[in-house]
Amino acid sequence: MDSLLAAAAPLMVSAFTLWGAPVTRLEIVAFVLSVAMVACNIRVIPWGWPLAIVSSLLYYLLFWKYGLYGDAVLQLFFVVVAFWGWWQWLRGRRGDGSPLRVHSMSWAGRARVALCVAAGWPLLGLYLDRYTDSTVPYWDAFPTVASIAGQFLLGRKLVENWPTWIIVNTVCVALFAYKALWLTVLLYLLFIAMAAVGWRAWRRLAAEAS
């Protein structure tokens, strides 16, 4: 990991200061790619997935540097799932064999997702608390576990991915503010607004497809 951070050192140089904290070139590039990614997701454009791969790799380096280990490892997970999601959006099928399209979950499905997140959160928090030097193990764990759920929902074009991201991003705003990652705080505030737009747009698409 030290060698990766050393290789990325030119990108870790401060580009400017925001509210008393340095903003690196890496954070700026990741910011721009992430906004483009979500814009593609809202419009159901598959190019959002390769953008997710690149931005996730950049955020992996940034979060590791700031000791947000849960969120850092989550970015590597995002890279793997992005390849799966990209394939799903290009070639995915529903249970009846029809092409994958935007649709909603049943209440039972929503309950299962919520239970999985509720079970995984304390387990990951306990792990981070015991085996890393994270200063915010449980607050780091929640968006990590909920983001895993959100990513799979997004990959299957389920409307429920958007309210999941609203919850995740709200928690992340507080977490990144605590770490003084101010540009990323602004990014996640923007993500909240974009997720609300995406939720509305995908509910309309799901209604039209039903």
What was the pLDDT predicted at 72?
Answer: 84
pLDDT band with cut points at 50, 70 and 90 for residue 79: very high
- Tokens 């030119």 correspond to 10
Mean local confidence (pLDDT), 22-37: 87
pLDDT above 90: residue 204: yes
What was the pLDDT predicted at 178?
Answer: 86
pLDDT digits (tens, 9 = 90+) for 163-184: 999 999 999 999 888 878 887 8
pLDDT band with cut points at 50, 70 and 90 for residue 9: low
Cross-strand bridge partners of residue 21: 18
Can you read off the two tokens belonging to residue 203? 């509910």
pLDDT digits (tens, 9 = 90+) for 152-164: 999 999 999 999 9
CA dihedral over 67, 73, 74, 80, signed as positive or negative: positive
